[in-house]
């Protein structure tokens, strides 16, 4: 039945059938993350990095009533040119968009769903969503967290988006049993910087050890994802104080404009980009490249373990 909605690119289908390394990629970063043609160029470069590190990229989007797992260059170009005209699609949006054949760009949550349906266990993104600041009043909590609690996909990211409440997000993840691993670090990276002031659950030093943990978790029947927090390279990170000031100003403007829900994160990221003179966008691109490389290494290690 699921085949009716799932459309696997031939390269991805071959890789899955032959237990080769595959890395899922979201498409919201293409349509909502940056302007054209930078979004297209970045997406293609991320795919190239994954290929250069021994895995097959599978960028995911909703196109013409199908969940496309693995996109052509033309399809990536279409998402890039269309930009915010493409609907940002999370879990709740999938039935409507697919039934109405409305195109959608996948978030972390919906990318995890699609990857799981296709049998892909590793996903690379920028940063995950979480508990928004002020959530005790607004109850604004990203659907990413419930997906991490329930869907067996490992998410390689540069931590939780720094615009969010990191402490409450970590508490939420703990409640739902989602391990937060630090790649070669004990400190949770804060998206644009390596510094957050919070600890990860476990420091992991290499891709093989991470793959062994993933296999063990899922072999035990412990459902849900794993966060692999991969710090942005030191020479690419933003100044911590500069980042903090920009986020605080963006939050003030968000409140003044009464922006809420799914529009909140795009607004805050765009405003931080403006307030940092564009340096936050460049940092975002660099951390995605860094995550793609690590995700490919983990996917390769996991594929090898599955054969044993």
Structure tokens at 218: 């899922």
Q: For residue 161, indicate whether it is catalytic.
A: yes
Other Cβ atoms closer than 10 A to 156 = 29
HSE toward the beta carbon, residue 101, CA cutoff 13 A: 2
Of 26, 47, 254, 297, the catalytic one is 26
CA distance 230 to 155: 10
Q: In whole angstroms, what separates CA 169 from the centre of its chain? A: 15
Give DSSP secondary structure letters for 211-271: HHHHHHHHHTT--S-EEEE-PPPGGGPPPHHHHHHHHHHHHHHHHHHT--GGGHHHHHHHH
Per-residue tokens: 9: 């690119």
Token couple for 295: 């995700």
Q: Is 26 a catalytic residue?
A: yes
Q: Which of 68, 161, 236, 262 is catalytic?
A: 161
Q: What is the DSSP letter of 181?
A: E
Is residue 33 a contact partner of residue 39, using CB atoms and an 8 Å limit? yes
> What are the residue numbers of the active site?
26, 161
């Amino acid at each position: 039945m699921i085949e009716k909605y799932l459309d696997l690119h031939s390269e991805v289908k071959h890789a899955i059938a032959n237990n080769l390394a595959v890395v899922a990629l979201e498409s919201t970063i293409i349509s909502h993350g940056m302007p054209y043609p930078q979004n297209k160029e970045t997406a293609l470069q991320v795919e190239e990095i994954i290929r250069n590190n021994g895995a097959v990229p599978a960028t995911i989007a909703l196109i013409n009533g199908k969940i496309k797992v693995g996109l052509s260059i033309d399809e990536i170009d279409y998402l890039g040119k269309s930009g915010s005209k493409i609907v940002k699609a999370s879990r709740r949006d999938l039935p409507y968009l697919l039934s109405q054949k409305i195109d959608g760009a996948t978030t972390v949550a919906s990318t995890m769903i699609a990857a799981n349906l296709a049998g892909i266990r590793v996903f690379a993104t920028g940063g995950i969503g979480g508990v928004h600041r002020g959530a005790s009043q607004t109850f604004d909590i990203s659907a990413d967290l419930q997906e991490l609690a329930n869907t067996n996909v490992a998410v390689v990211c540069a931590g939780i988006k720094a615009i969010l409440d990191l402490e409450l997000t970590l508490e939420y993840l703990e409640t739902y049993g989602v391990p937060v691993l630090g790649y070669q670090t004990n400190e949770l990276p804060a998206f644009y910087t390596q510094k957050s002031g919070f600890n990860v659950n476990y420091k992991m030093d290499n891709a093989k050890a991470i793959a062994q943990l993933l296999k063990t978790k899922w072999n035990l029947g412990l459902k849900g994802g794993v966060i692999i927090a991969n710090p942005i390279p030191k020479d690419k990170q933003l100044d911590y104080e500069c980042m903090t000031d920009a986020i605080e100003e963006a939050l003030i403007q968000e409140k003044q404009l009464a922006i809420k829900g799914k529009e909140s994160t795009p607004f805050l990221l765009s405003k931080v980009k403006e307030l940092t003179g564009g340096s936050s966008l460049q940092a975002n691109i660099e951390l995605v490249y860094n995550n793609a490389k690590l995700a490919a290494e983990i996917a390769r290690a996991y594929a090898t373990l599955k054969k044993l």
